[in-house]
Structure 1
């Protein structure tokens, strides 16, 4: 099983030096992948620009978007942007997709909240694959949309689906599941894996879907406090009563040894990957985990 980590860009205080250091430490360590996510009305640097920087500053690790809110954007432009990042990274990009859950982000960029639908997500992914395959999207155009991705046919697409309906849809158009457990629950992770596998088989697809589990974490008591501070900020778009309910149970908290044991339990559920989501920018913590988890 692969173990990757997210660059915690949802924390404030980033500059070029710290961002580059995180990317290089991940790439030069034992991590299998590096991930970043997308938000608009928040402290994080812009998503596509950041993913491009990760591609340029790294040489080895897989780059995973966790996730791109595809229904918020034009799919042809997205396909061109992702193909460019695949080119910069020499074919190391995997595209995690979803519909998002923040109406304010759609509104901020003039996107239509009514397009936050699984059917439109599926259509957009089909359009991106058409572009990546080199098919024209405008028949009268003198050229197709380029560059073509380094990966033949384009990057793998993983769905950030949560819940039976979205997982069932994901089995139709995605290559796997980029799952996230709010509470770092083994039962929740198992259920999502089982649902994806069953839906995959019902669609008559061959092989098996790629199954990824990810979750927030904080190490020891100090890490718990950092995680609570991070999540209080991160969940600012949610109603306060839901935030109050989630905060005590969100994420994983424990020692490095306990985190390693938890990762092994996730592996036993059939995970192909675990992606850790740090809740602080402490580079020493990243180094500690690189030395002890592998």
Structure 2
């Protein structure tokens, strides 16, 4: 165990339960034909992490095993959000042999996927450390696992963008085209959904000024080059706007160029790859005693 990332509250247990029920239904189905070959006596297992990672997904891992063996004992050696080195034993388990084997794949699928998201997020957060910029996710998530992946982003030290299409209004080029201008689209959105946060995507400095004048909760400067981005920051942070409306960068962002963007003074950087380009952490669950 080593340094720990900033950690957000545990996920809604009802969401975890629903995710796990779907996962076990598709994997176990009417019964595990292979596990049925094993004698169903008590056994033990250990969970091994084979690479450096940020651990995330314990609630889903636990729920998979407890769904098949309510009496299983899971002793975690690391906390959610801990950074661990390759070769770390994350947990030991004691339970029924068949249940341990049947729950193995689903439990690892959750843990490896969410740890992958948390690990990637932590790397992006580290890249902008000290700049004041926040790392945000997007809606580019695995279908059915949005709440889980967004939880993993928080565990990795990032922040969540809107959860879905229902909890914020986000105006893009199609809306501007439909209403004729950024200002007109903002006015229509405020009238229709006054209680929701309003995010406005702009494509030019002229549209940025319209959004600043009309007012909104955040402005997304999409695919601005470096010179235009710096001018956008000077405009939004200077008088008379004084940085009251945060600027978000989106599009064409990679880890290599991330810090340079943050140093330009933007407030937020949203990165779809945190949840879209998922590379699972290498984990394994092995029956038997923990190696010395």
Coarse TM-score class (shorter-chain normalised): under 0.3
Higher relative contact order (CA 8 A, sep 6+): 2
